Amino acid sequence: METHLADFIRGTADGDEAESILRRCVHCGFCTATCPTYQLLGDELDGPRGRIYLIKDVLEGAPATPSVRLHLDRCLTCRNCETTCPSGVQYGRLVDIGRKVVEERATEPRPLLDRLKRTALREGLTRRWLFDPAMRIGKTVRPILPAALATKVPPTSRSTKRYVRVERPRKMLMLAGCVQPAMAPQINEATMRVLDAVGVETVVARRAGCCGAIRHHLNDHDGALDDARRNIDAWWPAIEAGAESIVMNASGCGAMIREYGHLLRNDPVYAEKATRVAALTRDLSEVLLPFSDFLVSKLQAPTARRVAWHPPCTLQHAQQIRGPVEALLTAAGVDVKLCAESHLCCGSAGTYSVLQPELATALRDRKLTQLAATRPEAIVSANIGCITHLQSGTGTPVLHWVELIADALPGEGVRLGLFPGEVRQAARVRKGKGPKPLPDPPRPS
């Protein structure tokens, strides 16, 4: 695509990157066939090709009108179009630049209510000292909340055996996350239990917080970079001490942290560290897959549950990870089904379900219809946003896939109940003694 960038952006880091991406686009339109918003709205400007033209026009000096902003706001940034594109157009990075420029050069400010909503999301969701107590209150009063608000508040988490940290020679870092500990603490607990079962000690750095994705996608790019720098500083001592990986059990966070090297490439202090952090980042399924045989040998009477697997866009499109989750669950005796249109977004997309509720609900219901066609006993995913969004529209349990694995591990007392009304007893150990420690497996080559 031929470009003639305007003076305000020509020669800048964003301008050079945008121009390089634009020139790869050959207008083929394959991307429109896999764009969720184009499927719903049928408008060329609500598909990747149309948005690329809008961004190009603004970068060449056209006005950044409210109409342009609306079409960019409607984009989920699911990056399905990147998977489809035969020319390798990095649309996700281009739309981030486009949104930033449109926000800065807008011919009209956003409506006050929209600005307040975005500020509340940006500041409230990323600070655990604000979000955690708010979520606790929300869970307490959930039965009396309006339906629209109650769907954003998951019920109190299922009981699970608390993970007790055990010293292991192998150590991996884990990001607790900003909303996951309050919304679904059982996910982190299950992750730590499963990693311990394969001989890995999980280290959670206290100063590490939000990955930066929320701020980044709400156009607070400077704030997102500050989040990234804080996390790098928090992790760096453990990395220098030999931590093998940074394990992600929320695919949205994993996708963001794998971008740290790119986002901080021009920072003389953090560029090298950010590149190393990005290289060390692994999705939980990638970490566990080499241990699948060892792990399955430790599972306690795995049951062949029939589940529908919903791969988040941040896993299958942003990180290009497909297959490990299905392989792990299948090895554990779970009947895993992929639904039709499994490549399409469920409509969660971080804060999208709050900012674009009508589109998000339509995409959720379309996804749930496809998932229900597989007749699952449960739906599993790999991102807290997808899990919460899908659960808001169905009575079928929606959970993180690692909870299935953790439920089958030996443990003391009541084990994780996966389905409503189901409580299963595990073997108890003698009073005063903990569970017999599992041996460390050989390190994979």
Condensed to tens digits (0 to 9), the pLDDT of residues 284-299 reads 999 999 999 998 888 8
Residue range 326-337: mean pLDDT, rounded: 92
* Residue ranges of E strands in 159-264: 170-174, 200-203, 246-248
Cα dihedral value 256, 260, 214, 156, nearest 10: 60
Residues of CATH 1.10.1060.10 domain(s) within the chain?
A: 13-104
pLDDT band at 217 (very low <50, low <70, confident <90, very high): very high
Is 427 a residue whose pLDDT tops 50?
A: no
DSSP 8-state assignment for residue 311: -
- Domain 13-104: which CATH number of 3.30.1370.10, 1.10.1060.10, 3.40.50.1100, 2.40.110.10: 1.10.1060.10
CA-wise closest residue to 154 among 400, 376, 424, 349: 400
Q: What is the DSSP string of 407-441?
A: HTS--SSBPPP-STT---BPPPPPTT--PPPPPPP
Query: Whole-angstrom Cα distance, residue 358 to residue 356?
Result: 6
Q: Which of 31-35, 120-124, 140-144, 196-200 shows the lowest per-residue confidence on average (mean pLDDT)?
A: 140-144
Per-residue pLDDT, 303: 55
Q: Which of 45-54, 137-146, 231-240, 248-257 shows the lowest per-residue confidence on average (mean pLDDT)?
A: 137-146
Residue range 121-143: mean pLDDT, rounded: 79
Residues of CATH 3.40.50.1860 domain(s) within the chain?
A: 299-407
Of residues 214 and 423, more confidence is placed in 214
Per-residue pLDDT, 410: 81
CA angle 155, 190, 386 (to 5 degrees): 50
- Position of tokens 């999705």? 283
Going by DSSP bridges, is the β-strand pair 306-309/281-283 parallel, antiparallel, or unpaired?
unpaired
Per-residue pLDDT, 132: 73
Of residues 176 and 413, more confidence is placed in 176
Is 441 a residue whose pLDDT tops 80?
A: no
Q: What is the DSSP string of 361-374?
A: HHHHHHHHHHHHTT
- Kindly give, in sequence order, each residue whose CB lies less than 8 Å from that of residue 419, ignoring residues fewer than 6 positions away: 377, 378, 397
- The topology (CATH level 3) of 299-407 is Rossmann fold (3.40.50)
Query: Whole-angstrom Cα distance, residue 427 to residue 94?
Result: 54
CATH of region 128-286: 3.40.50
Residue range 189-203: mean pLDDT, rounded: 93
Question: pLDDT by residue (tens digit) across 76-111?
Answer: 999 999 999 999 999 999 999 999 999 999 999 999
Going by DSSP bridges, is the β-strand pair 378-381/398-400 parallel, antiparallel, or unpaired?
parallel
pTM exceeding 0.75: yes
Question: pLDDT by residue (tens digit) across 159-183?
Answer: 445 566 677 889 999 998 888 888 8
DSSP 8-state assignment for residue 33: G
**265 burial level (CB within 10 Å; 0-12, 13-18, 19+):** middle
Mean of all residue pLDDT scores within the chain: 87
**Percent over 70 (pLDDT), the chain:** 88
**Greatest Cα-to-Cα distance within the chain, rounded to the nearest angstrom:** 75
Query: Whole-angstrom Cα distance, residue 188 to residue 299?
Result: 19
Beta-carbon-side half-sphere exposure of residue 419 (alpha carbons within 13 Å): 10
